[in-house]
Amino acid sequence: MLSWLQGKQDVNRLIAKGQYPKAIKILQRHVRANPKSVHLRKMLADVLERDGQKRRAIEVLEGLVQEFSSEGFVTKAIAVLKKIQRIDPEQSDAEVMLDTLVKMRRKNQPPAKAARTQGPPPAAPRRAAEPKPKEKEEDLDEGLVTSIIMPSEFWFEEAAARRDGFNWSPLFGDFSKEELSAMIGGMRLLIKKPGSIIYTEGEPGDSLFVLASGIARVYRKTSIGHNDQVAVLRDGAVFGTPSVLLEKPRNRTIIAVNECELLELDKATFDGIAAAHPRVAELVHKLHTQRG
């Protein structure tokens, strides 16, 4: 691990200097030593793309999709598929991989609440300071990160070994291939840094989110204007549905604890998908109702 930390510093310096071929060689060496590392393979794909080697970057990412889908981590597989589509919008293999993803669904899917309850128990709710404006995100980072156990960069390998139950987001569990394909096609991938405000209570909203990876905290304003932490969101969590279904303002403030990958679906796109696939609207309404 220490050798990789040194190597990571070298890689970051090489990337900053635009010396991508050298960075690729270092990453390939570490991937050979740690072939199951999701973190290393994502880094390798990113540098390959920067170096213009799109086909090779896609091959690395396709391996991650296959691994995620075979283990039942569908939300993470979808997030990687969106990265492939960003690199090459004409990538025809994405449809084949989506078909594989759907076929690999587990017969015994975890209950909807599993996406938010597995893993280390969250800290007891505490009174939080008023979230600061987005331009001061660095001030939020220090306080948030130090108060929660952070996952290692080998979280996927560890979770797969434990057979963790957060495999499926409740949003995707019951969709057919056609419905799932439409949802994936309509979503965009967002990456939020630690301390970033995903959205703030009271502001207008027109999209829902699925947390593909990472941890986020949920705050609600009290009658005297303080923000209390009311929940911790983990992989697979769905939030923001009131804004899409009921056109209501955001009813919580949500802040990224560590780097979060989010799948976002805006209302206009959702309405178009629902018009073509009415059951999609029914399932999202059902999920919203179950969550109260």
CATH code for the domain of 48 = 1.25.40.10
Structure tokens at 269: 């796109």
Q: What is the pLDDT of residues 24-78, one digit of tens each?
A: 999 999 999 898 888 889 999 999 999 999 999 999 998 988 888 777 777 888 8
Q: Mean of the pLDDT values across residues 277-285?
A: 90
**pLDDT at 103 (0 to 100):** 54
β-sheet bridge partners, residue 199:
254
Q: What is the pLDDT of residue 119?
A: 43
When divided into structural domains, the chain yields a total of 2
Same domain, 130 and 98: no
Task: Report residue 13 as tokens.
Answer: 């310096």
Q: Residue 237 has which token pair?
A: 């969590």
58 & 200 share domain? no
State the burial class of residue 162 (Cβ atoms within 10 Å of its Cβ: 0-12, 13-18, 19+). exposed
Q: Is residue 161 part of a domain?
A: yes
Signed CA dihedral, 103, 109, 111, 117: sign only: negative
Question: What confidence tens digit (pLDDT) does each residue in 59-71 have?
Answer: 999 898 888 877 7
Q: Which amino acid is at 120?
A: P
Instruction: State which amino acid sits at residue 258.
Output: N
Q: Is residue 43 part of a domain?
A: yes
Whether residue 286 sits in one domain with residue 200: yes
Indicate whether 159 pLDDT > 60: no
Look at the pTM and tell me if it is higher than 0.75.
no
Query: Do residue 171 and residue 279 come from a single domain?
Result: yes
pLDDT of residue 144: 30
Say whether both 130 and 12 belong to one domain. Answer: no
Say which residue the tokens 């090459």 belong to: 88
In a domain, 111, yes or no: no
Separation CA 207–CA 267 (nearest Å): 5
Identify any residues that bridge with 233 across adjacent strands, giving them in sequence order: 216
For residue 18, is it left (φ>0), alpha (ψ between -120 and 50) or beta?
Answer: left
Indicate if the pLDDT at residue 118 is higher than 50. no
Higher pLDDT, 291 or 223: 223
pLDDT of residue 289: 84
pLDDT in tens, 211-226: 988 999 999 999 888 8
What distance in Å separates the CA atoms of residue 288 and residue 265, rounded to the nearest whole number? 15
pLDDT tens for residues 126-157? 444 554 444 333 333 332 322 233 334 444 44
Q: How many CA atoms lie within 13 A of 87 on its CB side?
A: 28
